[in-house]
């Protein structure tokens, strides 16, 4: 900062202080302090990944370079490159970034603004890990062949600079799109799909390893020319050429990395300059895209229930269908069954007829957040429910009806999946699952309704991760689920020991009677409870 | 005409602190009543109690002759509310929300849909049919909250800072709508920090300070009760009366000397 004017220096200091104060102020609440603990643990994990990754990559790079297989380093550079560029984008689904474009309202020079945007945006996990891993590779190469040190230092530094600039450039160009709620949901969904995709790496490798070597090399040969002209490949090209003492080729490859970095820098400058001048093409495009329509579709009408119950039911399903995380949660049981298919040889695969009851139990489990904090997603809308002339018994019943509909849909999908992948479950297992649900669902709904009123917590169902119900709800729901699952497992065990699963069906059917009665009793008590809890509900759920 | 809103010794305490202390409101049917007070005076707490969002510690409340403690649901059917938090469901579209609100107030599906369309057009929100409420601007959310509050044609309307964040054109439309409602016999109870709005719209005013009702009456009554010391014989503006009642502005000694 020595070359900066005093005003600019003070502005940069103020920007750094802002980040620090945001952290300190977040510690005022218990939740904030708990977040710091989880962040510290996360920091340790990231630190371990950085150090461990750097050591592992360094050791492998040393091994490859020592054995004259420098061209294989391309794999590392590609892994680092892809992680560096893709992880921050997907992480936007989980994090609220400081909107550095807000700095525009202050009298910053363009140079200072550019510097703030570049530096503040770079302080992320992907950059930290990318730099550590790149340095690990660099150390490995240098230790293996000291003659390559100057080239390796230049190539890796250029590679790191390119990654920093490209990541910033991409983010700055698409941040308007990313700032939209829907975009963040899409990125969050992509992130989870990528995470699940890792489950399929093993089977994929297994599949390709069975192909003849000539066919495998044909794929590699096709990709090689493209790979070589992109920065991770160019970085390897510098080292390969330097190893063979082909200086013009090494210099050419290095120049191309600088050219890529220059292009990224130029595009970053172009965009930031636009922002600095107050130009925002997206806003005018959005304004032009507005349409007008005065046709309003009437709401849903469910048979046998009142209009308010239909209205709340419709609202709940709209909420559910618009929540990426909830839809993803719904897919989980099916994905688990699909992933388990990869391990047909596993112990559980011998008991495939249990997949349906186990999957059905899992379906109920993944609904816990929704059922035990059923007003959490309503936020300020709770006031609308409180001021409306409708009894809360109807509102809560409508919410339970919607949750039950989701559960039934999920179980149907699961049943289809199990039928397609394995065999249709036997009648006795269908009956076991049905009776367990008759017992377990009312218990869950009864306790869930009470906890939703006694321990509400505002939750944004559009956001992935870091959102939990209150601690009380988490522990209580965990206990209830353990008991319910335990009873289910016990009845299956009794049926297994008696060689007659119908005994389990009878036990569960008998347990369903007090469970349903309890649900009705709780539902009848809902309105007096709401009268005493209305202020807590409104205060807790209307929090900003 | 009978009282549309009546409170007797209405009190709400939070521990030792009395947010609303012994308040006796009297609002006649058809009045446009402005409820004023500085920040933290007890306006929102009062409106929350009158709309059933909060229980009083003591005292009685009657809306349209019905006791809130015993006829809460009957009262709710006849009132419309724009509370402090606007009571919106962020992940519904504007039309879905109005449809929902209409049916919650007992309208049939078709009437709710028809009124929703009319209200969206009136509030100039029809251009955003697929936009979720969470993506609306603050002003648009206010207009939508107002639309939901009137969809069932309430006899008493409670509005907590209804014009905050609403643009001048929409504000004008809303004011005209509210005046038409009072002309047809509806009662409006409004809180606002903007004294000009209250002075222009309201027929009657109540002023609350530190939880206590310090003045209540028609605008003319209040302004004629105290004369301007600087200009004896001239009536005070509402702002002057308000400042006189709740405490005047800072003295010049407190001003920031370095400001140009």
The pLDDT, as a whole number, for residue A510 is 95
Query: Percent of chain A beyond pLDDT 90?
Result: 35
Q: What pLDDT, on a 0 to 100 scale, did the predictor assign at position B49? A: 94
Considering only residues 84 to 113 of chain B, which have any Cβ-Cβ distance to chain A shorter than 8 Å?
84-92, 95-96, 98-101, 103-106, 108-110, 112-113
Cα–Cα distance, B67 to B6 (Å, whole number): 9
Pairing mode, if any, of strands B204-209 and B187-191? unpaired
pLDDT at site B187: 96
Alpha carbon distance A380, A46 (integer Å): 37
pLDDT cut 70: percent of chain A above it: 76
Chain A nearest CA to B48, separation (Å):
10
- Look at A438-442, B137-141, B186-190, B194-198 and tell me which has the smallest mean pLDDT: B194-198
User: In chain B, positions 127-156, which contact chain A (CB-CB < 8 Å)?
Assistant: 127-129, 132, 134-135, 148
Strand-pair partners of B18: B13
Residues near B77 by Cβ (< 8 Å), separated by ≥ 6? Answer: A389, B105, B106, B152
Nearest by CB: A315 against B83, B89, B129: B89
Predicted confidence (pLDDT) per residue in A296-347, tens digit: 788 888 888 999 999 999 999 998 888 877 777 777 777 776 666 555 545 5
| pLDDT above 50: residue B31 | yes
> Is B186 a residue whose pLDDT tops 90?
yes
The pLDDT of A415-429, averaged and rounded, is: 83
pLDDT digits (tens, 9 = 90+) for A438-476: 999 999 999 999 999 998 988 887 665 556 677 778 888
On the CB side of A304, CA atoms within 13 Å amount to 2
Residue A459: predicted pLDDT: 86
Question: Residue A345's pLDDT is what?
Answer: 46
What does the DSSP assignment read for A330-380? HHHHHHHHHHHHTTTTSTGGGGGGGHHHHHHHHHHHHTHHHHTTTTGGGTT
Q: A536 touching B, CB under 8 A?
A: no
Instruction: Write the pLDDT tens digit of every residue in B49-107.
Output: 999 989 999 999 999 999 999 999 999 999 999 998 888 998 899 999 999 999 999 89
Contact status of A209 with chain B (Cβ, < 8 Å): no
DSSP annotation of A426: P
Work out how many CB contacts closer than 8 A connect A with B: 136
Give the bridge partners for B67, in sequence order: B62
pLDDT score recorded for residue B206: 94
* Eight-state DSSP code of residue A160: H
- Comparing A386-400, A505-519, B199-213, B245-259, which segment has the lowest mean pLDDT? B245-259
Q: Are A44 and A51 in contact (CB under 8 A)?
A: no
Nearest to B128 by CA among B141, B146, B114, B115: B141
pLDDT at A480 over 90: yes
| Interface test mutation site (partner A, options B72, B77, B79, B89, max chain A beta carbons within 10 A) | B89
Phi-psi group of B210: left, alpha or beta (phi > 0 → left; psi -120 to 50 → alpha; rest → beta) = left
Which of A314, A378, A389 is nearest residue B73 as measured by Cβ atoms? A389
Pick B117's closest partner by Cβ from A296, A322, A387: A296
What are the C-alpha distances in Å from B39 to residues A149, A544, B44?
Answer: 68, 19, 10
> Are A379 and B129 an interchain contact pair (Cβ–Cβ within 8 Å)?
no
Mutate to test the interface with B, among A291, A383, A392, A541 (most CBs of B within 10 A): A383
Which residue among B85, B90, B104 places its CB closest to the CB of A308?
A: B104
B47 interfaces chain A, CB cutoff of 8 Å: no
Per the CB < 8 A criterion, the answer to whether A322 and B136 are in contact is no
- pLDDT grade for A353, boundaries at 50, 70 and 90: confident
**Could you tell me the maximum CA-CA distance found in chain B, to the nearest angstrom?**
63
Global ipTM: 0.84
Q: What integer is the mean pLDDT of A499-514?
A: 93
**Rounded-to-integer distance, Cα A40 and Cα A34, Å:** 10
Task: Report the residue from A312, A377, A542 with minimal CB separation from B85.
Answer: A542
Cβ(A121)–Cβ(A100) below 8 Å: yes
Q: What is the C-alpha separation between B76 and A390, in angstroms, rounded?
A: 9
Q: Is the pLDDT of residue A77 over 50?
A: yes
Q: In whole numbers, what is the pLDDT of chain A averaged over residues? A: 81
Which chain B residues contact residue A315 at CB under 8 A?
89, 92, 96, 100
Q: Do A291 and B148 touch (CB under 8 A)?
A: no
Tokens of B117: 């369309």
Which residue from A296, A383, A385 is facing B99, i.e. has the nearest CB?
Answer: A296
- The half-sphere exposure of A399 on its side-chain side, counting CA atoms within 13 A, is 24
Q: How confident is the model at residue A199 (pLDDT cuts 50, 70, 90)?
A: low
For the four alpha carbons of A206, A207, A212 and A216, in that order, the dihedral sign comes to negative
Q: What is the pLDDT of residue A341?
A: 55
Residue B157 in contact with partner chain A when CB distance is under 8 A:
no
One DSSP character per residue, B124-153 reads T-TT-TT-BGGGS-HHHHHHHHHHHHHTT-
Residue B196 touches chain A, beta carbons under 8 Å = no
Please indicate whether, in this complex, the C-beta atoms of B104 and A390 are within 8 angstroms of each other.
yes
Tokens 């409006």 map to which residue?
Answer: B188
pLDDT surpassing 70 at residue A544? no
Interface check for B169 against chain A (CB to CB < 8 A): the answer is no
Q: 0.90 cut: is pTM over it?
A: no
Residue A19: is its pLDDT beyond 90? no
Distance to chain A for B92, nearest Cα, Å: 7
Say how many C-beta atoms besides its own lie within 10 A of residue A514's C-beta.
12
For residue A291, give the nearest of B79, B127, B148 by CB distance: B127
Smallest Cα distance from B239 to chain A, Å: 32
């Amino acid at each position: 900062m020595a070359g900066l004017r005093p005003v600019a220096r003070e502005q940069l200091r103020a920007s750094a202080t802002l980040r620090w104060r945001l952290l300190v102020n977040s510690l005022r609440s218990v939740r904030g302090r708990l977040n710091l603990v989880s962040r510290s643990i996360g920091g340790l994990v990231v630190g371990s990944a950085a150090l461990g990754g750097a050591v592992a990559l360094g050791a492998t790079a040393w091994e490859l370079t020592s054995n004259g297989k420098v061209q294989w380093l391309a794999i590392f550079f590609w892994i680092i490159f892809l992680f560096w560029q893709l992880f921050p984008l997907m992480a936007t689904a989980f994090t609220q970034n400081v909107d550095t474009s807000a700095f525009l309202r202050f009298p910053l020079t363009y140079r200072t603004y550019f510097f703030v945007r570049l530096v503040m945006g770079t302080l992320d996990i992907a950059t930290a890990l990318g730099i550590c891993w790149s340095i690990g590779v660099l150390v490995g190469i240098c230790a293996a062949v000291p003659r390559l040190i100057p080239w390796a230092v230049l190539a890796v530094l250029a590679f790191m600079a390119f990654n920093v600039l490209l990541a910033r450039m991409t983010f700055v160009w698409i941040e308007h799109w990313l700032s939209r709620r829907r975009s963040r949901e899409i990125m969050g969904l992509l992130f989870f799909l990528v995470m699940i995709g890792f489950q399929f790496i093993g089977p994929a490798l297994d599949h390709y390893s069975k192909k003849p070597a000539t066919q495998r090399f044909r794929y590699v040969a096709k990709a090689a020319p493209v790979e070589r002209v992109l920065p991770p490949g160019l970085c390897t090209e510098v080292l390969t050429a330097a190893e063979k003492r082909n200086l013009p080729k090494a210099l050419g490859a290095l120049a191309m990395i600088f050219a890529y970095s220059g292009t990224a820098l130029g595009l970053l400058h172009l965009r930031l300059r636009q922002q600095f001048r107050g130009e925002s093409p997206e806003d005018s495009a959005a304004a032009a895209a507005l349409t007008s329509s005065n046709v309003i579709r009437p709401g849903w009408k469910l048979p046998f229930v009142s209009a308010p119950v239909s209205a709340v039911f419709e609202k709940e399903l709209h909420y559910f269908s618009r929540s990426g995380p909830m839809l993803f949660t719904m897919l989980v049981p099916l994905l688990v069954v699909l992933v388990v298919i990869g391990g047909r040889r596993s112990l559980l695969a011998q008991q495939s007829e249990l997949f349906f009851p186990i999957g059905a139990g899992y379906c109920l489990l993944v609904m816990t957040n929704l059922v035990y904090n059923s007003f959490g997603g309503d936020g300020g809308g709770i006031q609308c429910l409180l001021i409306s002339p409708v009894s809360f018994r109807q509102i809560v019943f409508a919410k339970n009806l919607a949750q039950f509909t989701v559960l039934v849909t999920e179980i149907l999908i699961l049943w289809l999946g199990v039928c397609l992948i394995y065999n249709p479950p036997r009648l006795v297992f269908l009956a076991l699952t049905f009776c367990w649900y008759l017992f377990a669902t009312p218990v869950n709904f009864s306790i869930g309704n009470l906890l939703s009123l006694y321990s509400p917590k505002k939750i944004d169902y559009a956001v992935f991760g870091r959102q939990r119900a209150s601690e009380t709800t988490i522990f209580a729901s965990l206990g209830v689920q353990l008991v319910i699952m335990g009873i289910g497992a016990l009845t299956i065990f009794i049926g297994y020991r008696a060689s007659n699963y119908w005994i389990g069906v009878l036990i569960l059917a008998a347990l369903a009677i007090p469970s349903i009665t309890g649900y009705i009793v709780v539902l009848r008590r809902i309105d007096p409870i709401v009268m005493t809890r209305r202020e807590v509900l409104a205060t807790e759920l209307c929090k900003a | 005409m009978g009282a549309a809103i009546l409170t007797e010794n209405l009190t709400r305490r939070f521990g030792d602190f009395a947010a609303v202390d012994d308040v006796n409101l009297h609002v006649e049917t058809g009045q446009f009543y402005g409820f004023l007070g500085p920040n933290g005076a007890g306006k929102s707490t009062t409106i929350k109690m009158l709309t059933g969002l909060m229980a009083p510690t003591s005292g009685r409340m009657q809306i349209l002759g019905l006791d809130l403690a015993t006829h809460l649901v009957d009262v709710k059917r006849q009132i419309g509310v724009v509370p402090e938090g606007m009571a919106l469901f962020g992940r519904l579209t504007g039309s879905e929300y109005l449809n929902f609100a209409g049916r919650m107030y007992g309208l049939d599906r078709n009437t709710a849909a028809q009124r929703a369309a009319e209200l969206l057009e009136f509030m100039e929100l029809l251009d955003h049919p697929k936009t979720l409420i969470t993506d609306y601007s603050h002003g648009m959310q206010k207009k939508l909250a107002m639309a939901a509050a009137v969809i069932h044609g309430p006899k008493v309307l409670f509005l907590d800072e209804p014009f905050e964040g609403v643009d001048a054109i929409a504000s004008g439309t809303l004011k005209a709508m509210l005046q038409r409602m009072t002309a047809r016999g509806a009662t409006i109870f409004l809180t606002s920090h903007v004294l000009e709005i209250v002075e222009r719209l309201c027929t009657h005013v109540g002023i609350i300070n530190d939880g206590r009702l310090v003045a209540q009456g028609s605008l003319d009554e209040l302004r004629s009760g105290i004369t301007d010391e600087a200009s004896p014989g001239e009536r005070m503006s509402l702002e002057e009366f308000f400042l006189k009642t709740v405490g005047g502005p800072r003295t010049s000694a407190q001003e920031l000397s370095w400001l140009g």
